[in-house]
């Protein structure tokens, strides 16, 4: 059972934040395409960082607490899961803050509310629409 | 490069992404700092388990040696970088969709 500790910790993070989607209607999982795209840069950059650190001997993982499923570069599977789970938790948290404090601008308001669209598009906006 | 150097570069890189590349400007938004404070609270707990058991061990030569709840202080910068890059990407995608919807 010890081998599942790291995975269980990550599962706990997902389970712990799931009520935000249900109770606060954060609509993070609901907007899954945007979610997948938002996760990609973090997943790539931090996987590379992790691989570098492992290769340089900056940190290592205790076999006792991980499944032993290891990806190329000696990267434990759990690390990849970590780089997906923690960002999801962060996004859920931001959206939860938005739900509780709608008056705090985040910068993407029209998309998140889906209704309060700006009725005065500037020339730059029109240009981007055509792309 | 040591973890210490990389962690500092990570924060600077993430700030550049937010301020200059994606121009999401999250670093000046109350909603971001509130969300980050909440994430940081839980990070201390989860990272405390990771580094306290420990699931991950650090090479003493790669870190400065300062620790908070078992975790090397560099982990705070690592976590901040991760949260800022992720949220900047999320908000940028949303802002782009909003512009296209007009």
B95 touches A: beta carbon within 8 Å: yes
How much is the pTM? 0.90
3-state SS of B8-73? HHHHHHHHHHHHHHCCCCHHHCHHHHHHHHHHHHHHHHHHHHHHHCCCEEECCCCCCCCEECCEEC
Q: Do B98 and A5 touch (CB under 8 A)?
A: no
What CA–CA distance (Å, rounded) separates B66 from A66?
A: 26
Across chain A, mean pLDDT equals: 89
Q: Do B100 and A129 touch (CB under 8 A)?
A: yes
Look up residue A104 and give its DSSP letter: S
Mean pLDDT over B1-20 rounds to: 98
Average pLDDT over residues A40-49: 98
Q: Give residue A40's pLDDT band: very low, low, confident or very high (50, 70, 90).
A: very high
| Contact between chains at B89 and A128 (C-beta distance less than 8 A) | no
**ipTM at complex level:** 0.97
Where is average pLDDT lowest: A21-35, A111-125, B38-52, B68-82?
A111-125
Burial of residue A2 (CB within 10 Å: 0-12, 13-18, 19+) is exposed
CA–CA dist A87, A102 (Å, integer): 22
CA dihedral sign, ordered B68, B71, B72, B78: negative
Determine how β-strand A75-76 pairs with β-strand B67-68. Answer: unpaired
End-to-end CA distance of chain A: 52
Query: Is the model's pLDDT at B33 over the cut of 90?
Result: yes
pLDDT recorded at residue A124: 44
Neighbours of B96 (CB within 10 A): 16
Does any CB of chain A come closer than 8 Å to the CB of residue B55? yes
Q: What is the mean pLDDT of chain B?
A: 97
pLDDT at A114: 46
Q: Give the pLDDT of residue A125.
A: 43
**Radius of gyration, alpha carbons of chain B:** 16
More confident residue, B62 or A127: B62
What are the DSSP calls for A31-71, one per residue? THHHHHHHHHHHHHHHHHHHHHHHHTTSEEE-GGGS---EE
B43 within 8 A of B34, measured Cβ to Cβ: no
Mean pLDDT of B56-79: 97
Q: Between chains, do A90 and B100 touch, taking CB under 8 Å as contact?
A: no
In chain A, positions 13-72, which contact chain B (CB-CB < 8 Å)?
A: 13, 16, 34-35, 37-42, 45-46, 49, 52-53, 56-62, 65-66
Q: What is the model's pLDDT at position A63?
A: 96
Confidence of residue A1 (pLDDT cuts 50, 70, 90): confident
Q: Using an 8 Å CB-CB cutoff, list chain A residues near B62.
A: 53, 56-59
Query: pLDDT exceeding 90 applies to what percent of chain B?
Result: 98
What is the number of H-type helices and E-type strands within chain A?
5, 3
SS3 A89: helix
Q: What is the pLDDT of residues A47-101, one digit of tens each?
A: 999 999 999 999 999 999 999 999 999 999 999 999 999 999 999 999 999 999 9
Compute the C-alpha angle B7/B8/B14, nearest 5°. Answer: 85
């Amino acid at each position: 059972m010890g081998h599942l500790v790291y995975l269980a910790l990550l599962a706990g993070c997902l389970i712990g934040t799931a009520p935000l989607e249900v109770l606060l209607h954060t609509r993070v999982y609901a907007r899954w395409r945007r979610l997948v795209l938002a996760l990609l840069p973090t997943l790539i950059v931090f996987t590379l960082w992790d691989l570098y650190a492992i290769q340089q001997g900056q940190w290592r993982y205790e076999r006792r607490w991980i499944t032993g499923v290891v990806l190329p570069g000696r990267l434990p599977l759990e690390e990849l899961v970590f780089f997906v789970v923690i960002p999801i938790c962060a996004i859920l948290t931001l959206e939860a803050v938005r739900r509780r404090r709608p008056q705090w601008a985040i910068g993407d308001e029209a998309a998140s509310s889906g209704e309060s669209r700006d009725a005065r598009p500037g020339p730059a906006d029109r240009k981007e629409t055509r792309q | 490069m040591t973890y210490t150097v990389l962690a500092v570069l990570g924060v600077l890189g993430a700030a550049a992404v937010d301020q200059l590349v994606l121009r999401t400007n999250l670093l000046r938004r109350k909603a971001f700092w509130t969300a980050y404070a909440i994430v940081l609270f839980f990070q201390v707990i989860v990272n405390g388990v990771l580094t306290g058991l420990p699931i991950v061990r650090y090479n003493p030569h790669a870190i400065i040696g300062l620790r908070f709840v078992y975790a090397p202080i560099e982990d705070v910068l690592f976590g901040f970088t991760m949260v800022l890059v992720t949220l900047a990407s999320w908000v940028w995608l949303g802002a782009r969709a909003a512009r296209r919807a007009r």
